[in-house]
Structure 1
Amino acid sequence: MTSQENSALQWPRIGTVVGEASTGSYSFILRSLEGKLGDIVATKVEVPVSSAGGRAVATVWGRITSIERFNPFFPAEAAQELANENIRLIDTVLSGSRDHLEAKVLVLGVTLGDESAADLSPLTYPVKPSAEVLYPPAEAVRRLLTGDDGKPSASAKLHVGSLIARDDVGVHLGAKDIVSRHLAILAMTGGGKTVAARRIIRELMDLSYPLVVFDPHGDYLGLYEKRELFKANHIRVLYPVIRVRQDNLDVISDLIDKMGKQLTDAQQQFYLYLLNSAQVKDGETAASFISKMIDHAENVAMKKRHKGKDGAELADELSDTRPATINAVKRSLQFVRSNLEQMEANNGRLRSLKRFEGYEFAEMPDPWDAPDDIVAPGLVSILYLAGYDHLNQSAIVSMVLEALFAHRSTLQDLIPPFQAVVEEAHNFIPSRQEGIGETPSLATIRKVITEGRKFGTGLILISQRPSRLDETTLAQCNSFLVLRLVNPKDKSFVRSVMENLSESDANILQAFGRGQGIVSGQAVPFPLLVKVKFDEDLVSEALGDENFIEVAKSWVPKTRKAANSEIVQKGLAQAGQGSQKATKAKETGGSRRGRRGGIKPDF
């Protein structure tokens, strides 16, 4: 008898198997108050181990998925009589203490002898009715979950929290599986998805793993506020400003493709004429350069109208260009410029809010020309997208991910492997019903999530509306952390993309408290009910829950004139800082030029 088998005999007995048992589940009568929903339990069974008639005693591991309580000595008719006559149970001869607790168990697998969870095998022979059900000690369960014997593991683990039923048993995710095979964190509003994401981000930061966080609402800016807790990491808060140089003019084409309308062949020809004719000033904003292109288009249109009059001259290649073509290109350019200017102004106003005093926002480096300023060991780059509308946010995420993934996929060793965190993922990878035609990030994320594993580009997708996500993309995630969900469509969708989510697990989703959920997939040996650890020290003082009742009571409005003046002054100050940074980048960035050429993938 092995040492593990001998110790298992000393495990507390909490029940007895009853009824029909299969290789996938069984039921047992539970001793009162000796087990809870989600508990890991074990039982012994003799199983065949060879075709020659060999046998062995195996440990069958399972998880309690439901507990039903009934009293055969207290029928419904008696309860009805007590209620109708207003009689207390104590005043009768009926028994109220003969309750039966019947627990249903989902079989997780079987181990032989001293085998760990790494050797967990399917059960091929059902447990025996009348078999004892055991309650393993915390150390045995920890050994089962980690797949080792308490020795330091060669593979890194991310500590997420503990089992819901046992706070003395920690739950860890395989770091390798998270960064290479993608993770989805799904929960309704208030379910704790941001808390869970911060927990995993913190664990990755402890490994100095490079992170790029796309933050539409500022949920993760608190990491910068608490940067003193992360001495080994460098946390940057970036805001998107797109600048052009002579060697990256095709960024304008990206903007038109992602923000504007697709150009016809004739329109594309005129657009290229404008692109090559406008004089670029290195470091100027894309909006400024587009204005030059629009001015040149208007000049061409004017010459078209006055052709042959007043000495107006027109380039030979424009002789067949129709006014409608010129106007269509000009409208597309105007739409992109208007979007950029408006969104950059909105983002600037948000960055200037009082709550962000002490924050140092930096302009986003060019992901093509300076990817190592965004991705580097120990670097956490938080891209603050607030103030940009859905289309612009999607376009920016698409352009940044395209560039970074291209650097990884061409294996030029400019940047290390990295993890991208996409908050509000339903806005970036929407389902067909949500209108995928206006979401350029969808195709990009599909590409990355399909091929990223080969090139060290991982994704963490976070959403409060799973049913609005693109099913093809979400199905590529190999691990899931699903917290509280109430919407029937969301629950049904989650079950359709999670192969090993049982019906009983799906039914419990709506009963979870904040921070409670199911973790499933390749990052864990089998589905687990988990209580996510709450990092209280990461709660932002500037971005916490605001008491709007008190704010409204003490509200003292500024005059419109004073408010407008303050906005203008802050905008001018930020514009000056951006110009200085662009000039500095131009002076010091010469060595980086030329990196972009020839490496853009076919998205």
Structure 2
Amino acid sequence: MQVVGVTTQHEVHVASKTHKFRMNEMLVIEDDELFKPKGEVVETFSYNRYIPMGMDKGLVDRDVLETLEAIGYDIGQDDIHLAKVRLFEEAQKPIQTGAAVRHPEFSEIEHLLLTTGPEKGMVLGEVKSTDFIAETIPERLQGLMLMHEQGKTTAQQGVPFIFDIRAMQQYPHIGVFGGSGSGKSFGLRVMLEELMKLKIPALVFDPHFEMNFSGKTEAHKGQVDYDSRYEVVQIGRDVGVDFSALSTRDIERLLGAAGSLTESMVNVVQTLHKKKDSYQSFSDRVANLIEALDMGKQKIDGMLHDGGMSRDEIARYGTFKKLLDQFGSLPPSSVKGIQWRLHRLNQAGLFQQNIRAIEHGIHSGKLVVVQGAVWLLQVFSSYVIGTLYSKRRSYKDAKLQQQQAQFFPPFVIVTDEAHNFAPKGFDAPAKSVLKEIAQEGRKYGTFLIFATQRPTLLDETITAQLNSKFVFRTVRGTDIQTIKEETDLTAEEGKRLPYLRSGDVFVSSAIIGRTMAVRIRLAHSTSPHTMNPFDELEQMNAADDEEIIAALADFLPMAEMHVMQKLDALNKQASKAWDVSEWKEELERLCREGKLKKEKTPFATLYDQA
């Protein structure tokens, strides 16, 4: 391998007759005057005499051709492999043309690949195209993971990619971007496994009900027991909002998430809500006011003056009169709008629990997965994130002022479909607290891991604060443009984004200082959604057929004319409610598929076991 063509301080061209260059392959240039600079392959090209087109464009220009001929390459006969190599550090002067090029040893590039060890960092995958230095990788960095390539599970070959999560104190927050099927959710699962391994408390919002770690893969052997390091809670069943702890502003946010509020509705909440109100006291006040407004002051006064009512009725109409005197100016439609939104949240179970289970899990260093519908997660996240962040912030502020305070641990907030929680261009319940954490959370030990298919739709303030970005396959042009603006991906890497394999990712991080190409390791756990839906359909159809054949067993052989006589018994045995024509259609289908056989006799048509 040799340097050919015109060189600059930033990049060179390298040629070889025997070695086919790979993208992101690392090379050392034997230029002692420049202390053997190192670089990475960013573009590759192969040429032979049978395909002579394109030699005047792109990677290969006239200067490269002349250099190749000068150093002994036969342009007309040889297979020539070329690569554009971008230097990791700018050289003081251009590289010497003709300089020899070789693959590095691990010790020469260790500082470019690793900033921490596997004990303190997140082992997320393998740095691509580092298998050339496999022999010089130290034992402590070998055998850390299994990889999944071309449908097969393989052992680790190259250098592990270990993300230094401790450096997030200086360069906080992670963004995970990628289109559907790119491996984004898979990569997020691997990150969560590493958080559990390191016992870092995390709060995960799971709109897809997929963050369960009970199913194990072959890669789990010898790894930590995740079952004791995470817990799953559902909104309305296990956790909810303590209504009496809410401020008026909190209630506005929650009701606004159930359905947008007009200014008049906001005024209703501010007027009717009292400090320490329970859900029951507040909803009763709203309901009583609606009834009083519907009846009107004149009718209520008449009922009170007429007499002949029980003590309870007198108290009830007295309450109506008092409410009208205080709040009679409020528009009935706005009060009813508040009641509808309040009822919707209560029906979802939001006000029937509290967040003690989440607080306990965070204190125990666990990963707490909160599951629920997207709209409900949006509502709940604003409350729970605000509460936990406030506790962490209060503890840190008290420590700085040398005051006693109850310890609350640092924690990580993780969410998929992040653009639903902090959208660009319009408000959302949790957006304000998430923006605050994005800008100031580093000081208090609260960090974000945001995954989204559409980075363009994510709030720009938050996107700008994501110091580490994991970019999986992305096809949409606007998203690619956003990613280019927010990372140091080169033009060549940007062009590759739509064609990345599932599980391949560009990691652009201020912690590393450059973009790295990584393949995510095989996860230790499986997602409940890994089965192909068409395989699922096939399995269910086969299971249904088995159930029907088993139900028919006691009746076979059976004449076609006897279906009517045995209809009730057949339906009971098979747990169906079919009529005669449906049973005959099903019997014919099973015969066509060879699962039953049909025989015609002089007296009847018989169905029997195949």
Verify same fold: TM over 0.5: yes
- Pairing 1:413-428 to 2, within 5 Å after superposition: 413-428=406-421
Matched-pair contact (CA < 8 Å) for 1:371–1:415: no
The amino acid of 2:123's aligned partner reads H
- The Cα shift of 1:126 comes to 2.7
- Give the Cα separation in 2 of the matches to 1:430 and 1:271: 25
Query: Where in structure 2 are the equivalents of 1:70-469 lying within 5 Å?
Result: 70-71=47-48, 75-76=52-53, 97-109=77-89, 122-146=90-114, 156-166=120-130, 167-178=157-168, 181-223=172-214, 229-230=224-225, 233-241=228-236, 242-244=240-242, 246-248=244-246, 250=248, 251-262=250-261, 264=263, 270-271=268-269, 274-276=272-274, 280=278, 286=279, 291-301=283-293, 302-304=295-297, 306-311=299-304, 313=318, 318-319=324-325, 321-322=327-328, 325-341=331-347, 343-344=348-349, 366-367=354-355, 372-385=359-372, 388=373, 390-411=374-395, 412-432=405-425, 436-437=426-427, 439-469=428-458
* Structure 1 pair 453–509 and aligned structure 2 pair: CA distance change class (3 A): same
Cα distance in 1 for partners of 2:513, 2:484 equals: 19
1:365–1:374 CA contact under 8 A, matched in 2: no
Q: Is the 8 A contact 1:471 1:497 kept in 2?
A: no
> Does the 8 Å CA contact 2:254/2:429 hold for their aligned counterparts?
no
Distance 1:365 1:126 in 2: 68
Residue type of the partner of 2:287? D
How many Å separate the matches in 1 of 2:513 and 2:437? 26
- Cα distance in 2 for partners of 1:382, 1:103 equals 46
What is the CA–CA distance in structure 1 between the aligned matches of 2:420 and 2:7, rounded to whole Å? 45
Distance (Å, rounded) in 2 between the aligned partners of 1:374 and 1:445: 21
Secondary structure of the structure 2 residue equivalent to 1:68: strand
Distance (whole Å) between structure 2 residues aligned to residue 459 and residue 247 of structure 1? 25
| Equivalent residue letter for 1:380 | L
CA-to-aligned-CA distance 1:29-72 (integer Å, 9 cap, x gap): 1343253111011214466xxxxxxxxx4231211011112236
> What is the Cα deviation at residue 74 of structure 1?
5.5
Does the CA contact (< 8 Å) of 2:469 and 2:507 recur in 1? yes
> What amino acid is aligned across from residue 300 of structure 1 in structure 2?
A
**Structure 2: which amino acid aligns with 1:144?**
L
Distance 2:48 2:128 in 1: 28
TM-aligned CA deviation for residue 420 of structure 1: 1.0
| 1:491, distance to aligned residue in structure 2 (A) | 1.5
Match of 2:23 in 1: 37
What secondary structure, in the 3-state scheme, does the structure 1 residue paired with 2:494 have?
A: helix
Deviates further, 186-195 or 216-225: 216-225
Distance (Å, rounded) in 1 between the aligned partners of 2:268 and 2:512:
55
CA distance 1:340–1:319, shift in 2 (3 Å) = closer
Change in 2 beyond 3 A, CA 1:381/1:319:
same
Kindly provide the amino acid, as one letter, of the partner of residue 444 in structure 1.
V
* Counterparts of 2:225 and 2:172, CA distance in 1: 26
Give SS of 2:19's match: coil
| 1:489 partnered with 2:510 | no
Answer whether contact 1:224 1:236 (CA < 8 A) is retained: no
Match of 2:46 in 1: 69
- The offset of 1:177, in angstroms, is 3.0
- Distance in 1 (CA, whole Å) between partners of 2:23 and 2:463 is 29
Q: Which protein is bigger by CA-based radius of gyration?
A: 2
Alpha-carbon deviation of 1:191? 1.1
Distance 1:126 1:208, change over 3 A: same
Query: 1:529-577: CA deviations, max 9, x gaps?
Result: 1111012x40146864452331452475999xx99xxxxxxxxxxxxxx
Q: Percent identity?
A: 20
| Deviation, structure 1 residue 423 | 0.7
C-alpha separation in 2, matches of 1:309 and 1:551: 70
Per the TM alignment, residue 268 of structure 1 is displaced from its structure 2 partner at its CA by 5.4
TM-score, normalization by structure 1: 0.69
- Counterpart-to-counterpart distance in 1, 2:353 and 2:3: 63
**Residue 74 and residue 505 in structure 1: after superposition, are their counterparts in 2 closer, same or farther (change >3 A)?**
closer
Question: Are the structure 2 counterparts of residues 371 and 170 from structure 1 closer, same or farther at C-alpha, using a change threshold of 3 Å?
Answer: closer
Partner of 1:112: none
Matches within 5 A, 1:3-22: 15-22=1-8
Mapped to 2, the partners of 1:542 and 1:495 lie a distance apart of 31
> Deviation at 1:164?
2.0
Structure 1 CA distance for aligned equivalents of residues 75 and 225 of structure 2: 60
By how many angstroms is 1:466 displaced?
2.3
Once the two structures are superposed, residues 271-327 of structure 1 have per-residue CA deviations (whole angstroms, 9 ceiling, x without a partner) of 4564349974xxxxx5x6664243222243235362532225455674374465243
Amino acid at match of 1:172: I
Q: Does 1:529 align with 2:510?
A: no
| 2:160 partner letter | G
The alpha carbon displacement at 1:381 in A equals 0.4
Superposition deviation, residue 247 in structure 1:
4.5
- CA RMSD of superposed structures (Å): 3.7
Paired position in structure 2 for 1:591: none
Task: Report SS of the residue matched to 1:104.
Answer: strand
Go from structure 1 to structure 2 and tell me whether the alpha carbon gap of 1:30 and 1:234 turns closer, same or farther (over 3 Å shift): same
Q: CA deviation at 1:25?
A: 1.7
What is the identity, as a one-letter code, of the residue corresponding to 1:493? T
CA gap of 1:271–1:424, structure 2 versus 1, over 3 A, is closer
Contact kept in structure 1, 2:508 and 2:514, CA below 8 Å: yes
Following TM superposition, by how much is the alpha carbon of 1:187 offset from its aligned partner in structure 2, in angstroms?
1.3
Q: Is the CA contact (8 Å cut-off) linking 1:278 and 1:296 kept in structure 2?
A: no
Q: 1:271 to 1:474 in 2, by over 3 A?
A: closer
Q: Classify 1:542/1:316 alpha carbon distance in 2 versus 1 (closer, same or farther; 3 Å).
A: closer
Which residue in the other structure is 1:503 paired with?
491
* Distance of 2:20 and 2:290 partners within structure 1: 81
Whether 1:550 aligns to 2:538 is: yes
- Once residues 376 and 525 of structure 2 are traced to their aligned partners in structure 1, the CA distance between those partners, rounded to angstroms, is 29
Unaligned runs of 5+ in 1: 1-14, 48-56, 78-93, 110-121, 281-285, 346-362, 564-603
In structure 2, list runs of 5 or more residues that go unmatched.
55-73, 131-156, 305-316, 396-404, 549-570, 577-610
Q: Which amino acid aligns with 2:158?
A: D
Q: Give 2:152's aligned residue.
A: none
Q: 1:160 to 1:225 in 2, by over 3 A?
A: closer
Instruction: Tell me the distance in 1 between the aligned counterparts of 2:36 and 2:323.
Output: 81
Distance 1:194 1:159 in 2: 16
Q: Secondary structure at the match of 1:403?
A: helix
Q: Following TM superposition, by how much is the alpha carbon of 1:458 offset from its aligned partner in structure 2, in angstroms?
A: 0.6
AA at the equivalent of 2:258:
M
Q: CA offset at residue 198 of structure 1? A: 1.6
1:68–1:554 Cα change, 3 Å: same
Q: Given that residues 74 and 95 in structure 1 are in contact (C-alpha distance below 8 angstroms), is that contact kept between their aligned partners in structure 2? A: no
The alpha carbon displacement at 1:422 in A equals 0.8
Change (3 A) 1:440 1:141: same
Is the 1:278–1:292 Cα contact (8 Å) retained in structure 2? no
Match of 2:14 among 28, 45, 56: 28
